[in-house]
Structure 1
Amino acid sequence: MQRLAHLLLAVLVLVLLSSWGGTGHYIISLEASRSFNTEMQQFADWANYLAGHASDADNRKSSDPTEAPKHYIDIDNYTEFLTNQPMPLSLSEAVSKYGNSFVVDNGILPWATKVTYDSLVIALRNGRIDRAKLLAADLGHYVADGHMPLHLTKNYNGQLTGNTGIHSRYESTMINAHADEFYNSQPREIVLVQNVQQYIFDYIYFNYQYVDSILEADNYARSINPDYSSSAYRDTLWVKTKGFTKRLFAAASQRLAELIYSAWVEAGRPSVTSTAEVNLDRATMYVYPNPTNGQVNVTYSNSGGENYYLEIFDMLGNTLKRYSLNSISSSSGHLTENLNFPSGAYLFRLSNNNISITQRVIVQKND
């Protein structure tokens, strides 16, 4: 089937089809807190958690065969989209009309986003704050996927138009190189979402317009220099796409805030803080870019007064490097590390006697 290419590609390059890559997902989820309104003050402590778990959904792809279709929709394979008609609002309606194989093969992103939203409402209503935070992090991932135009089209990698490879060049290589320019976005006012499923389809329909813009930018950048690894190509691609790409990031952050707010209101505005949750979130860590060709940045925070360590392991459990973070900072900090390791997977762990946070990092050397 058509989407077999997706699956094979995912095996060869773990995060190629991970919308916005780990860096982009982290930024979108972190920046969502800038749009939290005055009613959401108790959600402020969620910001680092949402960012640190923004790629959990991608990480499940290797172990959960049902996860991958949740991250995209080839919406231009649907008659309704091509004729500017409303899409089936429920997954059951879509399956009834098109059949299960067609729907799953073309991705279920909008419906998976709604299911995650509904699950968040239930968790909040039942006071399961730990589960609510996990679901909110997943919701942030799927919302971000819906703002990555190449996750909304059958031409997801430019393979139909002679732009093969644009997916990774745009969402990972370019974003990683300009990550600093996406932070500190302007806060946006949020409103209560009345029809969540329609709201999700509305932003997917709107964001699809940028598919052609990305392909045109790729064509122009190649005309400047056909060497994709050249600074001339990369810089030109950025210049041609940065305007709408920044808007997509900002819109994704705003809509995540809007959906969390709406889920909380629908759940009855419950308290979202507890002693247990505060203790769990005393430390955060993020390693980026991921994958990397060797150089990585590590940002971390902790409560201070405890002996935290950062350790790097290979997949056999051998300790390759170890740092005492308290000797660097008592609360938060940033490290830049050059990994002189062979290509492969490695584990970064931030821990003390009570807390352990682990992130898997892929090293891809340019041979």
Structure 2
Amino acid sequence: MRQSVITSRFIALMVCVSLFSLSWGIWGHQHINRAAVFALPDSMRVFFFNHIDYLTEEAAVPDLRKYVIGDQSEPDRHYIDLEKFGDHPFDSLPETWDAAVRKYGEKKLHEAGILPWYIQQMEQKLEQAFRNRRTDEILFIAADLGHYIADAHVPLHTTINHDGQLTGQRGIHAFWESQLPELFGNQYNFHVAPARYIPDIQAEVWKIIRHSHQLSDTVLLVEKQLLARFPKNELYRKDADGNIMKNKYGQLIFSYAFAKAYHEALHGMVEDQMRRAIQELADFWYTAWVNAGRPNLTELDDASLTEANKKIFKKAYRLWQQGKLWGIHSGSEY
């Protein structure tokens, strides 16, 4: 695979993505994958930066498989409805896939969503790709893994009331994970700590899921309370004729004033979850590489590619240290 930060081959693919509402939205997924590259150690960062455009644009491809291709095996990889496992799911859910199958059966697990177990499977596949030193496989799996780790940080991906359909709040899913980042994400800080080794992948995955699920009630309750007291005529964005506007998916678009009020009432939750996703993704990539024996990644690229990107790499890394991302122009859904 030949891919540099200067060349992009996924423009047409991204046009297809824009036809569908995606988890975290195109904006969120692309920023998470891109930012995670810079948190890697030097021995990984140069290789990943050489392919940063691919990793960025590929971030939304799992949703393409779900919506464009209609891959029937894809949808349940993006969520887990924890309520389907009782009032205290974390007390009874096995951390490993085999143990979960023995306890609940595959049918029930797929109906409830398999996100935490699928992340574990993808981590193992990435480790094997590193071990085999196969560039295409490393990049493909690393980008995909970023998508699912990002999904695990969206609170509404862990609850049966995933779009507020049970509480009269339809549309909150895309509002939280797409409209808010698009409106306020340019103010976010994308700098995180250097990638850290994860000693127990299973435990780490479930720590992520537990934290996200703990936030799901707040996501719903804060919006419901705000809806009750916000002026109804100021709730949605309107065109010049006074008609309520809709996004490309036919969803009502909340006004900037309401979005700002909700974003502030969440006290930084969206930014915090995005930063957590960036950190975890870098940690997962790094852990897979270490477990594979720390293969020399610089040997996988032509030296001329690394040399061509050297100057722009330094600029991009300095910007990331300031909390900013260089060279990303994500599509807008709102």
TM class by shorter chain equals 0.7 to 0.9
Give secondary structure in 2 for the equivalent of 1:270: coil
Could you tell me how far apart the structure 2 residues matched to 1:106 and 1:190 are? 31
Percent same amino acid at aligned positions? 32
CA deviation map 1:40-82 (0-9, x unaligned): 3433334333212111111111321101110111122213x71
Check the 8 A contact 1:32/1:47 in 2, yes or no.
no
- Displacement, 1:34? 3.3
Could you tell me how far apart the structure 2 residues matched to 1:169 and 1:131 are? 34
1:57 maps to 62
Which of 49, 61, 72 does residue 79 from structure 2 map onto? 72
Q: Does 1:187 align with 2:207?
A: no
Could you tell me how far apart the structure 2 residues matched to 1:137 and 1:168 are? 22
With over 3 angstroms needed to count, the CA separation of the structure-2 counterparts of 1:240 and 1:138, relative to structure 1, is same
1:157 maps to 163
Check the 8 A contact 2:192/2:278 in 1, yes or no.
no
What code does the residue aligned with 1:150 have? L
Could you tell me how far apart the structure 1 residues matched to 2:169 and 2:138 are? 40
Residues 256-335 of structure 1 aligned to structure 2 (within 5 Å): 256-273=281-298, 274-275=300-301
1:141 maps to 147
Could you tell me how far apart the structure 1 residues matched to 2:276 and 2:327 are? 28
Which of 258, 262, 276 does residue 233 from structure 1 map onto? 258
Check the 8 A contact 2:25/2:333 in 1, yes or no.
no
With over 3 angstroms needed to count, the CA separation of the structure-2 counterparts of 1:50 and 1:169, relative to structure 1, is same
Could you tell me how far apart the structure 2 residues matched to 1:267 and 1:243 are? 36
1:45 maps to 50
Could you tell me how far apart the structure 2 residues matched to 1:45 and 1:230 are? 40
CA deviation map 1:84-134 (0-9, x unaligned): 415212223222222222111111111111111111111110111111111
Could you tell me how far apart the structure 2 residues matched to 1:129 and 1:91 are? 28
Q: Which runs of 5+ in 1 are unaligned?
A: 1-12, 284-300, 302-331, 336-358
Check the 8 A contact 2:146/2:281 in 1, yes or no.
yes
1:170 maps to 176
Q: What TM-score do you get using the length of structure 1 for normalisation?
A: 0.69
1:94 maps to 100
Could you tell me how far apart the structure 2 residues matched to 1:279 and 1:39 are? 16
Could you tell me how far apart the structure 2 residues matched to 1:27 and 1:242 are? 21
Could you tell me how far apart the structure 1 residues matched to 2:264 and 2:103 are? 42
Could you tell me how far apart the structure 2 residues matched to 1:77 and 1:53 are? 31
What code does the residue aligned with 1:169 have? F
2:13 maps to none
2:212 maps to 207
Could you tell me how far apart the structure 2 residues matched to 1:105 and 1:175 are? 29
What code does the residue aligned with 2:301 have? T
Q: Which runs of 5+ in 2 are unaligned?
A: 1-17, 237-253, 313-325
Check the 8 A contact 1:158/1:165 in 2, yes or no.
yes
Could you tell me how far apart the structure 2 residues matched to 1:112 and 1:122 are? 15
What code does the residue aligned with 1:154 have? I
2:36 maps to 32
CA deviation map 1:11-49 (0-9, x unaligned): xx9643x32111000111111123223443433334333
CA deviation map 1:223-272 (0-9, x unaligned): 21342433322221111125111111111000000000000011111122
With over 3 angstroms needed to count, the CA separation of the structure-2 counterparts of 1:277 and 1:221, relative to structure 1, is farther
Give secondary structure in 2 for the equivalent of 1:19: coil
Check the 8 A contact 1:28/1:144 in 2, yes or no.
yes
Could you tell me how far apart the structure 2 residues matched to 1:241 and 1:66 are? 34
With over 3 angstroms needed to count, the CA separation of the structure-2 counterparts of 1:278 and 1:272, relative to structure 1, is farther
Q: Does 1:112 align with 2:138?
A: no
CA deviation map 1:141-169 (0-9, x unaligned): 00000000001110100111222221111
Could you tell me how far apart the structure 2 residues matched to 1:334 and 1:268 are? 32
Could you tell me how far apart the structure 2 residues matched to 1:52 and 1:46 are? 10
What code does the residue aligned with 1:54 have? A
Give secondary structure in 2 for the equivalent of 1:185: coil
What code does the residue aligned with 1:133 have? L
With over 3 angstroms needed to count, the CA separation of the structure-2 counterparts of 1:41 and 1:28, relative to structure 1, is closer
Residues 209-224 of structure 1 aligned to structure 2 (within 5 Å): 209-222=214-227, 223-224=229-230
With over 3 angstroms needed to count, the CA separation of the structure-2 counterparts of 1:180 and 1:131, relative to structure 1, is same
Give secondary structure in 2 for the equivalent of 1:171: helix
With over 3 angstroms needed to count, the CA separation of the structure-2 counterparts of 1:333 and 1:252, relative to structure 1, is closer
More helix by share: 2
Check the 8 A contact 2:120/2:202 in 1, yes or no.
yes
How many aligned positions are there? 279
With over 3 angstroms needed to count, the CA separation of the structure-2 counterparts of 1:192 and 1:101, relative to structure 1, is same
